[in-house]
Structure 1
Amino acid sequence: MEIRIKKYLGNYYRCKKKKEQLEERHRHIRTDIDSPLGGRAYKEIPSANTQHKSDGSASLLLRLSEIEDRIEKEKNRMAQRLLEIMDVLDYLQEESDERMILELRHIDCYEWKDIVKEMHLSRTSCNTYYNKAIAKLLEYKRVRVLIEAEEMNVA
């Protein structure tokens, strides 16, 4: 069950990374659209790798629009995931080290080395608080139900 709750808490991070990936793709396409004509190498003889025809700028604009839609959907998913995680973390005492470490890890998306610096604790102490928080959350039936419902939605 511990692995399942960690995966559940990691949903926001995965949405955030997906959004960043889409934004990077958007930037690349935008660069292609904005680049001057003749900016690409010209080949007189078509190569064998031309498996599909491109519709030029129209195709790029359509692709750009699709990516913008996906970015918007991912932002909405991120907001939903963030609220879900915050609801789960509300089961922990507000000013506790356990909650702070989970917030830094799963909401602020800090790496462990940054959590250690922020908390002024050793890595071992941070892991101890983290595991203690996970165990505490799993004591609540509502948390277990949320995790199970999430797994059923994914499947």
Structure 2
Amino acid sequence: MNQQTTGGATREAVKEYLQQYHMARERRRMLERRHDVLARELRAPAPGSTYMTMPASHPAADSEGAVSVVFRLAEVEDRIEAQRTAMGRAVTMVMDLIDLLPENSMERTVVELRHIDCKKWERICKEVHMSRSRVNDYYNAALDTILSNKRAQKLVQDFEQDRGHGTGGEKSGPI
């Protein structure tokens, strides 16, 4: 695999930068699923009480009550709202890099489908009517174009430092 490096930034670092919107979107989806579970728990009828002839020797440890669920639900709603804000920032940052690619180019189309529309590679291939290897060629050409821009290099390096990855960040995809 060609791992182009230009001034410290690598293709992997650019991919991580471009993935930030997708990751923020996935975190929001996770929080929304958690919210749905808590909302169902709140709507669920309380279990019926059983009649006991003898008093219990210890209080029930698992009875949190509806108030606890309401507080957790409110906390998750706050986190969802914060995640929506983070998604807005992330998509703006990603679009700034994508704007470096020529308008109406196949490179830009592939990157937008992958990192803005969050499509899987198979779906991208179908939409642009190309083989996976040809789509990879366009994607890698787009990464190289982005890497050739000094401002983009700086943005990616700052992003990597903020995330604490340095120059050897985690791999984010199959390319």
Same fold (TM over 0.5): yes
Q: Is residue 125 of structure 1 aligned with residue 137 of structure 2?
A: no
- Letter of the 1:68 counterpart: E
Give 1:18's match in structure 2, choosing from 12, 27, 36.
27
Instruction: Tell me which structure has the larger Cα radius of gyration.
Output: 2
Residue matched to 2:113: 104
Residue matched to 1:114: 123
Residue matched to 2:86: 77
Report sequence identity in percent. 36
Distance 1:68 1:14 in 2: 18
Q: Report the Cα offset of residue 149 of structure 1.
A: 1.0
Give 2:97's match in structure 1, choosing from 88, 112, 119.
88
Cα deviation digits, residues 31-73 of structure 1 (max 9, x gap): 000011217x97x889xxx8x6553111100000110000001
- Letter of the 1:149 counterpart: D
Q: Compare relative contact order (CA 8 Å, sep 6+) and give the higher one, 1 or 2.
A: 2
Distance 2:132 2:70 in 1: 48
What stretches of structure 1 of length at least 5 have no aligned partner?
none
More helix by share: 1
Residue matched to 1:135: 144
Residue matched to 1:5: 14
What stretches of structure 2 of length at least 5 have no aligned partner?
1-9, 165-175
Distance 1:131 1:60 in 2: 47
Distance 1:25 1:96 in 2: 40
Check 1:36–1:54 CA distance in 2 against 1; reply closer, same or farther (3 A cut).
Answer: closer
Give 1:38's match in structure 2, choosing from 35, 47, 52.
47
Distance 1:109 1:88 in 2: 16
Q: Report the Cα offset of residue 154 of structure 1.
A: 1.8
Give the structure-2-normalised TM-score. Answer: 0.80
Q: Is residue 27 of structure 1 aligned with residue 36 of structure 2?
A: yes
- Letter of the 2:109 counterpart: M
Give the structure-1-normalised TM-score. Answer: 0.90
Residue matched to 1:55: 64
CA RMSD in angstroms, aligned pairs only: 2.0
